[in-house]
């Protein structure tokens, strides 16, 4: 019997801090080999053996990810810290 695979969407929420514009902070020269290494790292550290990962890095507008970003800020900086 043939093995069946399914593709399951997942997300990682994070943020980066920069004094410049977000567009100028993201590398535009990522090679296919570097992307494969990144996918392999995510697969190895987040999932069990045999799970393959495909990613497409992109920036989510803050308004669309506001709650998740707030929770992450609270975890990193504490709830009492002032946000920028």
In a domain, 18, yes or no: no
Cβ–Cβ < 8 Å for 54, 39 = yes
Domain count of the fold of the chain: 1
- Domain presence at residue 13: no
Round to whole Å and give the CA distance between 63 and 37: 30
1: in domain: no
**What is the model's pLDDT at position 41?**
96
* Helix-, strand-, coil-residue percentages of the chain, each rounded to 5: 40, 0, 60
- Model confidence, pTM: 0.63
Asked whether residue 20 is assigned to any structural domain, the reply reads no
Q: Would you say residue 34 lies in a domain?
A: yes
Residue 26's pLDDT is 85
The reply to whether 11 falls in a domain is no
For residue 50, is it within any domain?
A: yes
pLDDT value of position 80: 56
pLDDT along the chain (84 residues), means of 10: 86 84 86 94 95 84 72 69 50
In terms of residue numbers, what domain contains 71? Answer: 26-77
Provide the sign of the torsion angle of the four alpha carbons 56, 20, 27, 42, taken in this order.
negative
């Amino acid at each position: 019997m043939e093995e069946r695979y399914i593709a399951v969407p997942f997300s990682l929420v994070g943020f980066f801090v920069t004094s410049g514009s977000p567009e100028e902070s993201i590398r535009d020269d990522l090679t296919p080999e570097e992307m494969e290494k990144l996918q392999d790292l995510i697969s190895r550290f987040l999932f069990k053996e045999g799970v393959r990962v495909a990613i497409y890095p992109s920036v989510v507008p803050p308004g669309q990810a506001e709650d998740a970003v707030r929770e992450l800020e609270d975890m990193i900086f504490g709830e009492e810290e002032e946000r920028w």
